[in-house]
């Protein structure tokens, strides 16, 4: 299956378990892999035969900057479900939500969750 990659989409949201996350917010980075057949788009050169990246970005932005969740696992599920419900050509998606600055002690680059969901 063909893939569209959208990497390092950056947002500011208020997701988290801790009070400071809910009050102050934090950065979130999203990586997406969209699985679909791109043969028709490659032959016709028409946007209608693929998925519009701008529309995907806006969908993800609404979720990441919208209603807070306690867990990034829930955020990832919302993103995957919304993309699969919105884009008929999408067969499967991988959603990775990265928290570069979670309020936990220690030295690390980031923490993240990644899920893969398939159209039912």
Which pLDDT does position 113 carry in this prediction? Answer: 98
Which pLDDT does position 71 carry in this prediction? Answer: 96
To the question of pTM greater than 0.85 for the whole model, the response is yes
Q: What confidence tens digit (pLDDT) does each residue in 55-68 have?
A: 999 999 999 999 99
Write down the domain spans for the chain. Answer: 2-118
Nearest to 59 by CA among 79, 77, 42: 79
pLDDT along the chain (120 residues), means of 10: 97 94 95 98 98 98 97 98 98 97 86 96
Nearest to 60 by CA among 32, 88, 37: 32
Catalytic residue among 23, 61, 99, 120: 99
Q: What confidence tens digit (pLDDT) does each residue in 25-36 have?
A: 999 999 999 999
- CATH number for the domain running over 2-118: 3.30.1130.10
- Residue 61 annotated among the catalytic residues of the structure: no
């Amino acid at each position: 299956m063909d893939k569209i990659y959208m990497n390092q989409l950056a947002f500011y949201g208020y997701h988290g378990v801790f009070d400071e996350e809910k009050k102050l917010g934090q950065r979130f980075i999203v990586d997406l892999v969209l699985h679909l057949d791109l043969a028709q788009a490659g032959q016709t050169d028409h946007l209608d035969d693929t998925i519009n990246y701008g529309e995907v970005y806006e969908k993800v932005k609404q979720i990441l900057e919208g209603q807070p969740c306690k867990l990034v696992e829930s955020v990832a599920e919302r993103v995957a479900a919304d993309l699969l419900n919105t884009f008929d050509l999408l067969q499967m998606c991988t959603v990775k939500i990265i928290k570069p600055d979670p309020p936990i002690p220690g030295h690390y680059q980031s923490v993240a969750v990644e899920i893969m969901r398939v159209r039912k």
